[in-house]
Structure 1
Amino acid sequence: MPEKSVPIEERRPTIEVLRAEKDVAGLIDALGSDDGLTRQRAALALGDLAGAEAVAPLIRALGDPLTAVREAAADSLALLGPPAVGPLVELIESPEASGKYEERTVTVIGAGGRTWELETRQDLRRVYAAAILGEIGDPAAVKPLVRALRDAGDDLRYQAAGAVAKFGSGAVEPLTAVLADPDPDTRIVAAGVLGDTGDAGAVEPLVGALRDGNADVRGAAGGALIRLGGAAVEPLIAATKDADRNVRLYAAGALKYIGDPRAIEPLQDLARSGDAEEKSVAEDAIERIRTVRRGMPAPTSR
C-alpha cells in the first residue's frame, strides 16, 4: 500500500526546530512564508540568533503587509545593533535605497481561507528605520536622523524626531544648527526636539530661538524651555532683561509654567519696567508661581 503523501507545509521544519538548530538560513527562508505567524516568529528568532547576514532580510520584512511581522523585524534589527546601523542610515538618507530590498508579493490568508496578495511597501521601511536607529543608539545615526527632520514625509519626520531626542546631549549640537534652517517648520521641529533631549546644553540655543522672526518657532522654543525645567530657570531669568521684547515675553511665560520661586523677583522687575503686555504676563506668572507654592490649584491661563 503506497504511503500517504504529506503536504509540503507539514514537511517543512517548524520555527521551533529551526531555532533549536540555530538554522539562520532556514529562518531567513521562513520570512518568505505565506503564513503571517510563521513570518513573525521567524523574524523574532533571527534577532536572537543571527548576525549581519539577517540584516537585509529583516529590512525587507519592514515592508511586510502585516504589522506584527514589521514590528518583529524592527525589534530584531534593534537587537542586532551595529551591523544594522549602516543599512538603516542608508534607508533614511535615500528613498531609493529601499529598492535594494526587492519587492515581492505576500499572500495573506484570512477568515474562511480567503487570500489577498499584497505588495510590500517601501515607505514603511524608512519610517521603521528611524525608530530602530533611536533604539540602537549608535552616535553615527544622529546626524542622518537630524537631516531626516527636513524630509518631505510627515511620518519619517515624526519618527526621526523621537529617535533623535533619545541621544540627549549628543543631539544638541546638530539640532542647534537646524535652528538656522530657512524653513520655519523645520526650525519648529528642531526646537521641540531640543526640549525633548532633556539636556541642559539645549537651554542656550533655545533662549536664542526666542528671537526668531516666526512666532510659531518662538512658541516651540518657549515650550521646549518649559520641559527642560530647572535647568532653564537662571537663563530665563536673565532673558527677562533681554533687549528683545519677544525674548522678555516668552521668558516670562516659560517661567510661569516652570514655577520656580527664584523667578518671582525678576518677574516683579519686569512688571515694573515693561510695557502693558509685559506687565500682564509677568504678574500672571507671579500669581501662578505663588499659588502653586501655597499648594493651591494653579489658575487657568488668561
Structure 2
Amino acid sequence: MCHILNLYRRTTWLHQALREGTRVQSVEQIREVASGAARIRGETLGIIGLGRVGQAVALRAKTFGFNVIFYDPYLSDGIERALGLQRVSTLQDLLFHSDCVTLHCSLNEHNHHLINDFTIKQMRQGAFLVNTARGGLVDEKALAQALKEGRIRGAALDVHESEPFSFSQGPLKDAPNLICTPHAAWYSEQASIEMREEAAREIRRAITGRIPDSLKNCVNKDHLTAATHWASMDPGVVHPELNGAAYRGCMIGIQPLYLPHVQLNRSPAGILQE
C-alpha cells in the first residue's frame, strides 16, 4: 500500500528534489517535480491474487477511495460479495480496466513473466505497476522499456528477478519513474520477532507432534505425506527422547535430531529452509 501511495503522490521524487536543493515552491515548480502525480479518489486498483495479503491491500485501498477489482482464478465464488469488491473473469479485463495494477500471487511455471511486453500493452496507457510478491512475475526488460516509452507512468518493485538487487546491473538501471526496495515490504520490528517465534513454534510442532499433520507452515507437506513411514509412526517412537514416559532424569545427552526435507514457510518474509 505504501508503494501505491508513493507512486500516486510522487513522494519519493519530491523528497529527492528537496535533498538535491531544487527549489520547489511555485505551482510550476511543483508541477515539474511532481509530474505524473494523480488523485486517488475514483481510480481503479486491480489486484492480481486475492489471498491474505491481497485482501488486506483491497480493504485498505477502499478506505483511500480506490475502486477495487481483482483477478484470481483459484478463489471460490462469494468472496467478492463478502468484501465488497468487483471480480473480473480474465487477466485481460483486469489490465484493461485498472489505473494501477498490484501483484499478490505466488510464482510458478504458469505465471513466470506474467507481466511482459504483451500484457503491458494490454494495460491502460500511463498505468502504475506495483510488485511486492515475487520478482519473476515481471519481465524487467519489458518493464524498463515501457517506463522509458511512458506506457507505464511509474512502477514500484520490492522484489526483483535477481536478488540482492543492484541498480548498477540489469535492465532497470536506466529506467525512469521507478522505485525499488530490497525485498523489505514485509519488515517491521514486530514482524521480525513474529517470524522467529513462528519458526521456533513450527520446529517444536515438528519435534513433538506428528509429521506432517501437526505442521502449519510447511511448504512441502506433499513430500512428507508421500513418506508414509513418517505419517504413520507414533511421535514417541520417532522421537523417543521426547517421550515423557520414557524420559529418565539420569539422561545426560540425546542423539542429534534430523528431520528430513522439512521446510518452513513464513509468508510474506519468504521461505525458511533447513
Superposition TM-score, scaled by structure 1 size: 0.24
Give 1 or 2 for the bigger CA radius of gyration. 1
| The structure with more helix, counted as a fraction of residues | 1
Higher strand share: 2
The TM-score, its normalising length taken from structure 2, stands at 0.25
